[in-house]
Amino acid sequence: MTLAAIKSGGKITLQLTDTPEHGDGSSGPAIDPFTGLHVHFIGIGGSGMNGLAQMLIQSRAIVSGTDRTRSMATEKLSALGAKIAYDHGAAAIPPECDMVIHSAAIKADHPEMIEAARRGLQILKYAQLLGQMMTSRRGIAIAGTHGKSTTTAMTAYALTQAAMDPSFVVGANCRQLQGSAHGGGGRLFVVEACEYDRSFLNLRPHIAAILNIEEDHLDYYHDIHEIVEAFAQLLRQVDPAGAIITQVQDEHCMAAAQVAGVKVETYGIETEACWQAVNLATAHGRQSFDVLYNNRPMGRISIRLAGRHNVGNALVTAAIGVHCGANWEAVAEGIANFGGVDRRSEFLGQRGGINFVDDYGHHPTEIRATLQALRGHYAPRRLICVFQPHQHSRTRFLLNDFARSFAQADLTIVPDIYFVRDSELDRQAVNASMLVDRIRDNGRQARYIPDFPGIINYLQGQLQPGDLVVSMGAGPVWEITHELVRRF
């Protein structure tokens, strides 16, 4: 069965058909169903959206889109042939258009949404289209509160190195993959599966990996029990002939996996599990460990990425590679050579003996793990973290957890909270100075500086050789470390 685009009465519908696969069964449909379709993206530069747009361009679709500002993602799409406008309005949708794609953040009263509805165009959420594209391939969904982008990119890279030419969509740019998405000739489709808005429930994967489950997106979910149930529903949608890989040391992961009617394999670091990482060692800036599968030695893996959490990510990648029939040595070599994705402990450079790093971490657990990994890897004289909280609602719900997550930082600098998807009530309920006060209550140094120029000027006068500065957050806080690198 493959996916086909059926055009009727000016509308496009995507349907499963009996179109045959290539003879060896190893590649996708002979004719891509998106070839020649006019597809318009609202928010085309967003995480995931630009990756899917790249895949459609590779499928010879005619792609257009809008975004608020120019970015590296939109510039790349323009170079690939996408027509992009930076003015949201009805006129932005081309006269010839078959389908409009939007992210969960775009509401029905958006001017382009209103125009698409007026013209009777097919309107799909990003996640819906992603799920439909997966139906013609063997899907691999990687989900969890943390680590999705790194593990998805690592898996795509390892499978590419193993000559399996997978398709993939990652929620971050990966230079080794030459972007965030690729339409490959192989049957495999590796996808970063996001839990926000229950987006991942549009997927019907053959393999699902659940890295961890914690409280997050509490502006959408009521509590952790509702979050666990959403993950459980994803696992119930896994192909009965497939497999689930989940963390044995995470009670929420194990609870979600209990209801799945599919083979479940656990993974863990130096603990009993189907997949185990044992005999961990660190030397010359690399971590290495032995992999056991049902207590059978598979081989030793070395990784460039710092932090114990990345050992777990590599273990998941190795397990997926085995389930996909990839050559073990090729997968292990791919993992060993993988250098990470943008904004995940990304080393920006050293200037005047000062190291600069940028990271996407915006949840307390991510912050703790990243700061610990950075301190161990760089051994700085001082570790200075510039953390921009992402969303007032997330900050309010997890305020005490955030306050305890900066124990490894010698100084935490906090600008104003990045405002996105919040209500005015959320905005009034919490602010950055409240977080700074809580961090100080936990015995750590913290400073509130509201704007980026103020932070840059402050640090320019304070930094000394041996310091490490890391910018953290899902907003544009990276601008601070990039500007400091330029100035120094």
Domain containing residue 432: CATH number:
3.90.190.20
Residue 445: which pLDDT band, with cuts at 50, 70 and 90? Answer: very high
**pLDDT at res. 231:** 96
Same domain for 110 and 142?
no
pLDDT tens by residue, 270-327 = 999 999 999 999 988 899 999 999 999 999 999 999 889 999 999 999 999 999 999 9
CA distances from 439 to 366, 391, 411, 481 (A): 16, 18, 10, 22
Mean pLDDT of 87-93: 90
What torsion do the CA atoms of 315, 318, 323, 328 make, to the nearest 10 degrees? -150
The residue that leads in pLDDT, 50 or 477, is 477
- Euclidean distance between CA atoms 200 and 145, whole angstroms: 12
**pLDDT at res. 426:** 83
- Domain endpoint, select from 337, 369, 392: 337
SS3 of 38, please?
strand
**pLDDT at res. 179:** 84
Same domain for 261 and 364?
no
CA 159, 165, 171, 176 dihedral sign is positive
Longest dimension (CA), the chain: 67
- DSSP code string of 176-220: GGTEEEE--SBSEEEEE---GGGGGGG---SEEEE----S--TTT
Top mean pLDDT of 27-31, 252-256, 258-262 is at 252-256
**pLDDT at res. 72:** 83
Percent of the chain at pLDDT above 70? Answer: 93
**pLDDT at res. 183:** 84
Same domain for 117 and 150?
no
Please count the structural domains in the chain.
Answer: 3
Per the prediction, the chain carries an average pLDDT of 90
pTM of the predicted model over 0.85: no
pLDDT tens by residue, 12-33 = 555 444 443 433 334 444 456 7
**pLDDT at res. 14:** 53
Domain containing residue 90: CATH number:
3.40.50.720
Same domain for 190 and 330?
yes
**pLDDT at res. 13:** 52
Same domain for 205 and 278?
yes
Same domain for 193 and 240?
yes
Domain containing residue 321: CATH number:
3.40.1190.10
**pLDDT at res. 29:** 41
The residue that leads in pLDDT, 220 or 70, is 70
Same domain for 126 and 236?
no
pLDDT tens by residue, 126-172 = 999 999 889 889 999 999 999 999 999 999 999 999 999 999 999 88
- Domain endpoint, select from 337, 354, 386: 337
Same domain for 126 and 83?
yes
**pLDDT at res. 151:** 97
Same domain for 462 and 315?
no
**pLDDT at res. 12:** 52
- Euclidean distance between CA atoms 73 and 20, whole angstroms: 35
Same domain for 390 and 474?
yes
- Euclidean distance between CA atoms 439 and 44, whole angstroms: 37
**pLDDT at res. 171:** 85
Same domain for 319 and 361?
no
Same domain for 77 and 150?
no
pLDDT tens by residue, 355-411 = 999 998 888 998 999 999 999 889 999 999 999 999 999 999 999 999 999 999 999
Strand 11-17 and strand 38-42: the pairing is unpaired
- Euclidean distance between CA atoms 296 and 299, whole angstroms: 9
**pLDDT at res. 30:** 42
**pLDDT at res. 269:** 96
* Domain span including residue 86: 2-130
